Structure 1
Amino acid sequence: MTLVEHLQELRRRVIISLVAIVIGAIIGFIWYQNTPPGIMPLGEIIRRPYCNIPAEFRADFTNDGTCRLLATGPFEMFMLRFKIGALAGLVLASPVWLYQIWAFITPGLHKNEKRYTFTFVTLAVLLFVAGALLAYFVLDKGLYVLLTIGGEVQVGGLTGHSYYSFLIGLVLIFGVSFELPLIVIMLNIAGLLRYEHVKDKRRGIIVGLFIFAAFMTPGQDPLSMVVLGTSMCLLVELAFQFCRFNDKRKHRERPEWMDVGDEEASSPVGRAQPVGAASPIHASGPVGAAGSTGGTPRASAIARPEPIAPARPVSPPAGNQPAPRTDTPPAYGAGMFDDVL
Structure 2
Amino acid sequence: MAFALKKRGPSDFERASDGSMTLMEHIRELRNRLFRASLAIVGGLIAGFWLAQPAFDLLQKPYCRIPAAIVNGECQKFLQLSPADGFILKLKLALWIGLIVGAPVWLYQLWAFIAPGLHRSERKWAYVFVSIAAPLFAAGAVLAYFVVDKGLGFLMDAGVSGLSSQLEVTRYISFVTNMILLFGVAFEFPLILLMLNFTGIATGRRLLSWWRVVIFVAFAFAALATPDPGPFGMTLLASALCLLYFVAVGVAFINDKRRGRGRELYAGVADDEVSPLDLSSEPVEAGGRVEAPEPIEAPAPIERRYDDMT
Using the size of structure 2 for normalisation, the TM-score is: 0.76
User: 1:218 aligned to 2:227?
Assistant: yes
In the other structure, the counterpart of 2:35 is 15
Counterpart residue identity of residue 152, structure 2: L
The structure 2 residue matched to 1:25, chosen from 45, 50, 53, is 45
Query: Deviation of residue 158 (structure 1)?
Result: 1.0
- Correspondence 1:111-190 to 2 at 5 A: 111-149=120-158, 153-190=162-199
Question: Shift of residue 165 of structure 1?
Answer: 1.0
Name which structure has the greater RCO, CA cutoff 8 Å, separation 6+.
2
Counterpart CA distance in 1 for 2:46 and 2:39 is: 11
Counterpart of 1:277 in structure 2 is none
Tell me, in whole angstroms, the C-alpha distance in 1 between the residues paired with 2:229 and 2:75: 29
Residue 96 of structure 1 corresponds to: 105
The answer as to 2:60 corresponding to 1:47 is: yes
Deviation at 1:267, TM superposition (A): 4.7
Q: Determine the C-alpha separation between the residues in 2 that align with 1:186 and 1:150.
A: 44
Partner of 2:115: 106
Alignment partner, residue 278 of structure 1: none
Q: Distance in 2 between matches of 1:258 and 1:71?
A: 67
Provide the rounded CA distance (Å) in 2 between the counterparts of 1:114 and 1:202: 31
Report the Cα offset of residue 6 of structure 1: 1.1
C-alpha separation in 1, matches of 2:79 and 2:40? 32
One-letter amino acid matched to 1:119 = V
Deviates more, 1:250-259 or 1:5-14: 250-259
User: 1:108, 1:66 → 2: CA distance?
Assistant: 54
Q: Is the 8 A contact 2:77 2:166 kept in 1?
A: no
- Return the letter of the residue paired with 1:69: F
Q: Which stretches in structure 2 are left out of the alignment for 5+ residues?
A: 1-20, 281-310
Cα distance in 1 for partners of 2:177, 2:109 equals: 26
Deviations 1:219-258 (A, max 9, x none): 2221111111111111111111111111222222262575
Report the CA distance between 1:46 and its aligned residue: 1.1
User: Is 2:247 the counterpart of 1:238?
Assistant: yes
The answer (yes or no) to whether the contact 2:151–2:228 under 8 Å persists in 1 is no
Counting helix residues as a fraction of each chain, which structure ranks higher?
A: 2
User: What is the TM-score with the length of structure 1 in the denominator?
Assistant: 0.70
In structure 2, how many angstroms separate the alpha carbons of the residues matched to 1:180 and 1:142? 23
Q: Any unmatched runs of 5+ in structure 1?
A: 34-40, 272-341
Contact 1:188 1:243 in 2 (8 A): yes
Amino acid in structure 1 at the alignment position of 2:82:
G
- Contact persistence 1:32–1:81 (CA under 8 A): yes
Q: CA 1:43–1:266 in structure 2 vs 1: closer, same or farther (change >3 Å)? A: same
**Counterpart check, 1:259 vs 2:279:** no
Q: Which moved more, 1:2-11 or 1:144-153?
A: 144-153
* Residue deviations 1:136-158 (CA, integer Å, cap 9, x gap): 11113332333234585333221
* One-letter identity of the residue aligned with 2:23: L
Contact 1:257 1:266 in 2 (8 A): no
Measure, in 1, the Cα distance between the counterparts of 2:90 and 2:175: 15
Among the aligned pairs, what percent are the same residue? 40
C-alpha distance in structure 2 between counterparts of 1:260 and 1:87, whole Å: 51
Separation in structure 2 between the aligned mates of residue 203 and residue 225 of structure 1, nearest angstrom: 18
Report the 3-state secondary structure (helix = DSSP H, G, I; strand = E; otherwise coil) of the residue aligned with 1:248.
helix
* Contact 1:213/1:228, CA 8 A, preserved across alignment: yes
1:53 counterpart letter in structure 2 = I
After superposition, the Cα gap between the structure-2 partners of 1:120 and 1:64, relative to the gap in structure 1 and judged at 3 Å, is closer
Aligned residue-pair number: 258
Q: Give the greater-gyration-radius structure (CA).
A: 1
Matched AA of 2:29 = E
CA distance in 2, matches of 1:17, 1:209: 35
Cα distance in 2, alignment partners of residues 269 and 198 from structure 1: 35
- Letter of the 1:129 partner, please give it: A
Contact 2:69 2:75 in 1 (8 A): no
